[in-house]
Amino acid sequence: MAKKKQLWSGRFKKAMDPRVKAFTASVAFDKRLALYDIAGSLAHARMLGACGILPPADVAAIERGLGRIGREIEAGRFKWSVDDEDVHLNIERRLTALVGDAGKRLHTARSRNDQVATDVRLWLRAEIDDIRARMVALMRALLAQAERHSALAMPGFTHLQVAQPVTFGHHLLAYVEMLERDRERLAQCRSRANRLPLGAAALAGTSFPIDRQRVARELGFEGVAENSLDAVSDRDFALEFCACASIAMVHLSRLAEDVILWASPRFGFVRLPEGYCTGSSIMPQKRNPDVAELVRGKSGRVFGALVALLAVMKGQPLAYNKDNQEDKEPLFDAVDTLKASLEVFSGMVAGLVPVPAAMRAALLEGHATATDLADYLVRKGVPFRDAHEAVGRAVREAERRKSDLAALPLSVLKRFSPEIGADAKRVLTPEGSLAARKHPGGTAPAQVRAAVARARKRLAAAR
């Protein structure tokens, strides 16, 4: 059986070394672009027909052939071959087998350089839409928990030390804010990615009278890439996506760390849903937070994708270079990892069960309402620095007695400031502390519920 010739082999006398063929082929991973490649080719063919570059019969044959190839791919019946290097040549080879010379004419006025840049942008655009939808699902799970536990007091931490009372709902809303920024960043990334490279050809444009705006409209691009050199070599959109994904994974990793701490016996603030835990092969008592730990660990994969792409791009002269083939695997992995992490976190968050008694006990161990007592003194006319000093000495006394600040008798508290009256006891309770923070962005239960309502309204408006 005769070996296949490369579709570009006219320039060469000798066949490609099999090791080089294996080393340079990308079809093993870029075949996931196949349906986007077909969409781009269909738009290109129709444009060539509308511009009189291809006859109507050729356009019809190409449409028929690409339609069949799309069905073969979706059904898993398409035969991929490393001999054809990449997704583009595999599809072109099959198209030519199906429709003859019309298939050979499809590549008129384009190059694989602008073709692949178009495919990746089309693919990434769709993936960003999917990721943003998954972010919404996680945000809704967080919002449901936040509303349900808008008044549940727990310690807020700085330096991992008990700081001030917050509500469990308020704590979860912090992650809603992070995810909302992630969604905004991805929307902006999508817009910048949504420019059509096709028509730039190899690097200098084409001598054929093409209509790039027509192709852009058919494929849903917001405009065309203005400079042909930049169009084929730009991978800013991939870099920007990986940067956005890295920040999102930072946020998921921080939530993972909170969950891991909360679920540990030393905290005991939450119980994880059993379906999101694993056991130990040797210790029968264990319920390991593997989902959270894996998300925390997988963040490094996404950071690595960003660094890899930066390294690929940093030394490339204009225009296209084979280095750019290395953009896909890190980008694909970053997308897959972020999607999977969001998906699994939505279920885990929805199933979290807080343990109010453990949260209350932790609040009573850390003098969490000390700042409230200082604020109380300020309202009585004591300068803040003096109030801070007085409360600090009161905390020292509470520690000597091995009690919480709120448990000190009024007579003892008055030794540190004569301005402390019986009404001070009210501000020393977690509920009093929470209720006092009733401004927008504060942790008062009413404000938490209002923040939930505002977040849901934003999500509904962003559809």
Sign of CA dihedral 395, 399, 401, 407: positive
**Cis omega (within 30 of 0) for bond into 174:** no
DSSP H stretches of helix in 149-235:
168-193, 212-219, 228-233
For 240-279, list the strands marked E by DSSP.
Answer: 270-271
Question: Which of the residues 44, 81, 159, 341 is marked catalytic?
Answer: 159
159 part of the active site: yes
**Alpha-carbon distance 242 to 289, whole Å?**
27
- Kindly report each contact of residues 285-289 with a partner whose C-beta sits within 8 Å and lies 24 or more positions away, as own/partner: 287/263, 289/259, 289/260, 289/263
Amino acid at 95: L
- Give the Cα separation of 272 and 351 in Å (integer): 7
Q: Mapping DSSP to helix (H, G, I), strand (E, B) and coil, where does residue 163 land? A: strand
233 is catalytic: no
Q: Quote the tokens at residue 109.
A: 């006025």
C-alpha to C-alpha distance for 373 and 375, rounded to whole angstroms? 5
CA distance 344 to 295: 9
Residues 6+ apart with CB under 8 A from 193: 121, 124, 125, 128, 237, 240, 241
Q: Two tokens at 418?
A: 């004569």
Instruction: Name the token pair of 271.
Output: 């119980």
Distance from C-alpha of 374 to C-alpha of 391, rounded to nearest angstrom: 6
Is residue 309 exposed (0-12), middle (13-18) or buried (19+ Cβ within 10 Å)?
buried
Length of the chain: 463
Kindly name the residue from 107, 264, 280, 411 that is annotated as catalytic: 280
Tokens of 101: 């010379």
Identify the helix (H) or strand (E) that includes residue 279: none
Taking residue 275's Cβ as centre, other Cβ atoms within 10 Å add up to 9
Shortest CA distance to 7 belongs to which of 96, 115, 118, 73?
96
Helix (H) or strand (E) holding 225: none
DSSP 446: H
Q: What is the set of active-site residues?
A: 159, 280
